[in-house]
């Protein structure tokens, strides 16, 4: 075996091993601790888990591209809230009154366009000013959230369209609409990252930006496209979720950015860019949702869940570092 192979396979497979571990642990612990007599690994329960993973998962796919690129986007939670408001509020606008149910695709497109534009704005600022994406999106996170509160104060924005709710609650081949969107987005982004020139360039820019510039890659526009993609996906996540719930609070989506980043990092994407995989991110998303659900299953409350996920994230990063150091040591000749 070549040096480094072991640590590499350990790393790429680690998230799935962790998921298996979670399943076993919660199944056994559930036998003793759970109040319900339903097994944890119940099929229905697993399908529900996939559906519940969708809001974070869809955004996490965008975050994977952005982070592989060597950037980060902290504004996704606020973008999520704005897109939700646009979706629900636009359906009540008088100019669309004559459309009947055709207002649904119009509202969807509107929300998605707003999301993509907010993302592109982040990217444009990063491109043209050269300011670090962390700072730019920290600013836009506050700014976008401000817009949310300006719109309706502390009041929720609500509009229930029953056709839309039916669509959102529908199931196809046993999977909920939200699950299909998550799987679809995962597949598309996987294709982009693994098979297209855009994906190849994303890795190159994240690994060595200067070399990418010297190879003639237009780094600024490339990064702007990625920010537009994550903005679009944040809006898509909102659209899928609020089609069903029909009411958005101005605080909704807060801390989403951190959950998303946690999932992406658990899935093996390097914070400094240049490495990461969409499949790994998918694993990270599932692992987190499993943990939340599992801890709930054995009777832990929300604060415990946060504590445990925080500890696991740090443990994973330490482990990752150890594996990296070992791999390097072997190559040092």
Partner 1 sequence: MSDPVLRLEGIVKTFPGVRALDGVSFSVMPGEVHALMGENGAGKSTLMKVLGGIHQPNEGHIFMGDEKAVMAGPLEAKAKGIVFIHQELSLAEELSVAENIYLGELPRKSFGRVDWSTLEENTNTILKKLNVGFDATTRVGDLSIANQQMVEIARALTVDAKAVIFDEPTASLTDAEKSVLFDVIADLKADGVGIIYISHRMEEIFKITDRISVLRDGQYQGTVNTRDSNEESVTQMMIGRKLDLSRNASHHELGDVALEVRGLSCGKLYSDISFEVRRGEVVGFYGLVGAGRTEIAETLFGLRDPSGGQILLNGEEVRISSPADAIARGISLVPEDRKGQGLVLGMNCRDNMTLPQVDDLKAGPFVAEGAEIAIFDQYRDRLDIRTPGWKQQVGNLSGGNQQKIVIGKWLSMHPNVLIVDEPTRGIDVGSKSEIHKLLRELAAQGYAVMVISSEMPEVLHVSDRTVAMYSGQIMRTFTSDEVTEDNLIQAISGIKSGQAA
CA angle 104, 105, 108 (to 5 degrees): 90
From residue 172, how far is each of 151, 177, 178 by CA, in Å?
Answer: 36, 7, 11
Instruction: Report DSSP letters for 72-88, one per residue.
Output: --S-HHHHHHHHHHHHH
Q: Closest approach of Cβ 328 to partner 1, in Å? A: 10
- List interacting residues with partner 1 (CB under 8 A): 3, 195-197, 199-201, 203-204, 207-208, 210-218, 274-275, 330-333
Q: Let me know how long the chain is.
A: 333
Closer by beta carbon to partner 1, 37 or else 210: 210
Give the start-end residues of each E strand in 21-165. Answer: 157-158
Q: Closest approach of Cβ 330 to partner 1, in Å? A: 6
Closer by beta carbon to partner 1, 32 or else 332: 332
Reading the block at residue 147, the tokens are 């817009």
Closer by beta carbon to partner 1, 250 or else 274: 274
Q: Closest approach of Cβ 87 to partner 1, in Å? A: 29
CA distance 233 to 61: 8
Reading the block at residue 280, the tokens are 């790994």
Nearest to 268 by CA among 324, 221, 204, 213: 324
Q: Closest approach of Cβ 279 to partner 1, in Å? A: 18
Closer by beta carbon to partner 1, 159 or else 198: 198
Q: Closest approach of Cβ 284 to partner 1, in Å? A: 20
Question: Looking at the DSSP assignment, which residues form a beta bridge with residue 286?
Answer: none
């Amino acid at each position: 075996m070549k040096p480094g192979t072991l640590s590499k396979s350990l790393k790429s497979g680690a998230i799935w091993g962790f998921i298996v571990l979670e399943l076993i642990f919660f199944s056994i612990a559930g036998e003793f601790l759970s109040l319900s007599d339903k097994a944890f690994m119940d099929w229905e329960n697993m399908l529900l888990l996939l559906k519940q993973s969708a809001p974070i998962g869809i955004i996490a796919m965008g975050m994977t591209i952005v982070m592989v690129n060597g950037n980060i986007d902290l504004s996704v939670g606020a973008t999520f809230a704005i897109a939700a408001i646009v979706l629900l509020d636009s359906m009540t606008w008088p100019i669309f009154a004559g459309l009947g149910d055709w207002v649904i695709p119009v509202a969807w497109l509107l929300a998605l366009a707003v999301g993509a534009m907010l993302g592109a704005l982040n990217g444009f600022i990063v491109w043209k000013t050269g300011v670090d994406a962390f700072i730019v999106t920290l600013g836009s996170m506050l700014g976008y959230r401000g817009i949310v509160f300006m719109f309706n104060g502390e009041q929720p924005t609500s509009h229930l369209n029953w056709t839309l709710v039916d669509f959102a609650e529908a199931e196809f081949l046993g999977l909920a609409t939200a699950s299909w969107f998550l799987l679809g987005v995962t597949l598309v982004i996987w294709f982009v990252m693994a098979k297209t020139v855009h994906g190849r360039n994303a890795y190159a820019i994240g690994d060595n930006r200067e070399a990418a510039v010297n190879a003639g890659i237009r780094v600024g526009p490339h990064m702007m496209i990625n920010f537009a993609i994550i903005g679009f996906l944040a809006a898509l996540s909102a659209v899928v979720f609020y089609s069903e719930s029909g009411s958005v609070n101005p605080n909704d989506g807060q801390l989403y950015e951190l959950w998303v980043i946690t999932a992406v990092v658990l899935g093996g994407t390097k914070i400094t860019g240049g490495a990461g995989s969409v499949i790994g991110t998918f694993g990270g998303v599932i692992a987190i949702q499993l943990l939340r659900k599992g801890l709930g299953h054995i009777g832990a409350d929300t604060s415990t869940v946060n504590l445990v996920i925080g500890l696991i994230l740090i443990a994973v990063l330490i482990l990752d570092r150890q594996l990296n150091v070992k791999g390097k040591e072997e190559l040092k000749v």
